[in-house]
Amino acid sequence: MLWLAEAQEQGGARIAQLQDVDLDHIDLLQYDAGPSTNFHADGLGVALAATHAAGAPAFGAPPARWTSHGFIGPAYSPLPMPLEPTARWGEFFGEQRIRHLLQLGRSKGLWEDDGALFERIADRLVSGEFDDGRPPARLHGDLWAGNIIWTREGPVLIDPAAHGGHAETDLAMLLLFTAPHIARIIAAYDEAAPLADGWQERVGLHQLFPVMVHAIVFGGDYVSQSVEIARSYA
């Protein structure tokens, strides 16, 4: 959280203030909820672009001062996620996200008949087919709608899985779980930091990561949803 909060000095998104942390709890400053408005959505888009622009040393790089692997998922059952600095985004995302999650899922009996789909996507990623030469962005990493607190002063972000990655990953997660005023957020972001050509066609590729996480943690329709997405890119 501190790594993300550092970007606020350059206009980055507001990050919830950490009050206390221990092995069994994380206490955050309490915020008074407010309405989500077009004005605040526009501000979030611009601020998120600034957070991403603060950058990271590499794709897959952990936050400053963090020396372990990462986590994502519910607090009662978080999934460990590798954080190995990598020169190219496709190699990072293919190996440390898609293949890693495929292995976790297979250990739980998932994707036994569809593993080849995910392997082909990982191969395409690792080959550099989806790399666009953009530098690593400073990602929230788990930016679904529930991790935005809307206050009267504007949105505040909570519960990050921060790392260096591709900016489109945060935006794809906002789109996956339909954050309020999502069209305004994306438009304001695009005006502040123009998105690469064809970004809409890659949304599902980035969404495959959180959907696979949900398939492993919750099962159900998320398993078939992940396979459906995979077929679009395999």
pLDDT bracket for residue 107 (50, 70, 90):
very high
Query: In this model, does residue 74 exceed pLDDT 90?
Result: no
Annotation marks residue 142 as catalytic: yes
Q: Which of 24, 113, 114, 142 is catalytic?
A: 142
Sign of CA dihedral 39, 192, 204, 213: negative
The total number of structural domains in the chain stands at 1
Token pair recorded at residue 86: 């990598």
pLDDT of residue 10: 93
Q: What range does the domain containing 174 cover?
A: 2-61+70-233
Residue 135: partners with Cβ closer than 8 Å, 6 or more residues away: 55
Q: What is the CATH number of the domain that holds 133?
A: 3.90.1200.10
109 token code pair: 């009996």
pLDDT at 148 over 60: yes
Report yes or no: 185 and 44 within 8 Å, Cβ to Cβ. Answer: yes
Q: What is the DSSP string of 88-131?
A: SHHHHIIIIIIIHHHHHHHHTT-STTTHHHHHHHHHHHHTTTT-
**pLDDT exceeds 60 at position 55:** yes
**8: which 2 tokens?**
């606020």
Question: Is the predicted pLDDT of residue 19 greater than 60, yes or no?
Answer: no
